[in-house]
């Protein structure tokens, strides 16, 4: 279970500034055709951390952790042949989507947005069993599973795709694109030694930069601050 815990802690460290916006909105516009993913970057960062700090960890153990990180995006054939495959469905479940990653962000985002959350993950944890190398749940827990996905759907409908949220996201992407040539943001996405330095504070870097090259990017961010958002039509 130590491998599962480690994968759970590290599986999202490969996210760039503003999370999925960086991966799905910014990079495709500045680097079309790129196959970059935050899961792959998480693996690269893990390798970098192990090498840089000379961490004593068995290769087989490390391989399992990396496979668990990419489990939702990679075929099952990549999993260690002799391992229990249900272990790969705990952190990021590409088979049915019921995983602790979803348990975490659904509850967290509901709290952060002041929304109610009827989903109680502990009910699923109490009843789950491994059968036929798969994690299974009692039929009576179908309502808990339904609440998990219905709450996620509500978040997408009322928060993630809210008109104001999308307007801010589009403006952030435009600001990052305007700053990309000068700051080399997209170049950092391919080198873990540089990538770990990228976070949401890049907006503050743009805002406070004296360089005239960042004028357009700075103006976009200032518009966000003033709530002069793009109009969604």
Q: Are 87 and 4 in contact (CB under 8 A)?
A: yes
Distances from the Cα of 151 to the Cα of 58, 126, 138, angstroms: 40, 20, 20
Catalytic residue list contains 38:
yes
**Integer CA distances (angstroms), 230 to 35, 100, 163, 172, 177, in order:** 29, 35, 10, 11, 16
Two tokens at 72? 């939702």
Identify any residues that bridge with 135 across adjacent strands, giving them in sequence order.
130
The dihedral built from the CA positions of residue 133, 134, 135 and 140, taken in this order, carries a sign that is negative
HEC sequence for 89-109: HCCCCCCCCCCHHHHHHHHHH
Complete DSSP assignment for 119-147: --HHHHHHH-EEETTEEE--GGGHHHHHH
Out of 38, 85, 156, 162, the active site residue is 38
User: Catalytic site residues?
Assistant: 38
């Amino acid at each position: 279970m130590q491998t599962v815990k480690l994968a759970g802690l590290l599986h999202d460290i490969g996210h760039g500034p503003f999370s999925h916006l960086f991966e799905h909105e910014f990079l495709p516009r500045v680097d079309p055709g790129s196959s970059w993913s935050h899961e792959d970057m998480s693996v690269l960062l893990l390798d970098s951390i192990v090498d840089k700090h000379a961490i004593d960890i068995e290769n087989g153990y490390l391989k399992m952790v990396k496979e668990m990180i990419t489990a939702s995006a990679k075929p099952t054939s990549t999993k260690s042949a002799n391992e229990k495959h249900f272990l790969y469905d705990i952190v990021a479940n590409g088979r049915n989507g019921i995983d602790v990653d979803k348990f975490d962000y659904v509850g967290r985002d509901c709290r952060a947005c002041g929304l109610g959350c009827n989903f109680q993950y502990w009910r699923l944890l109490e009843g789950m069993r491994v059968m036929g190398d798969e994690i299974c749940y009692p039929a009576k827990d179908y309502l808990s599973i339904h609440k998990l996905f219905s709450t996620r759907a509500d978040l997408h409908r009322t928060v993630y795709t809210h008109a104001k949220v999308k307007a801010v996201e589009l403006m952030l992407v435009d600001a990052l694109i305007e700053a990309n040539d000068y700051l080399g943001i997209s170049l950092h996405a391919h080198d873990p030694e540089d990538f770990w330095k990228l976070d949401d504070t890049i907006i503050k870097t743009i805002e406070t930069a004296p360089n005239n090259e960042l004028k357009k990017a700075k103006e976009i961010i200032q518009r966000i601050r003033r709530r002069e958002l793009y109009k969604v039509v």
